[in-house]
Amino acid sequence: MAELSKFIIFKLHDQPFGVNVKQVISIERMQEITQVPRTSDFIKGVTYIREETTPVIDLRERLLMDEKEPTESSRILVVQIKEMQIGLIVDAATDVKDIEQEAIEPAPPIVGGVKETFVHGVANLEERLLILLDLETIIDPKETNELQEIVEVE
Q: How far apart are CA 113 and CA 49, in angstroms?
A: 31
Would you tell me how many other CB atoms lie within 10 Å of the CB of residue 36? 19
According to DSSP, the β-strands at 52-58 and 84-90 are parallel
The string of pLDDT tens digits covering residues 93-120 is 989 999 988 889 887 766 555 555 788 8
CATH node for 4-153:
2.40.50.180
Q: Closest by alpha carbon to 104, among 94, 114, 117, 119? A: 119
Domain coordinates of the chain in residue numbers? 4-153
Task: Report phi then psi at 86, rounded to 5.
Answer: -135, 140
Predicted pLDDT at 42: 92
The string of pLDDT tens digits covering residues 16-66 is 999 999 999 999 999 999 999 888 899 999 999 989 999 999 999 988 888
- pTM over the 0.85 mark: yes
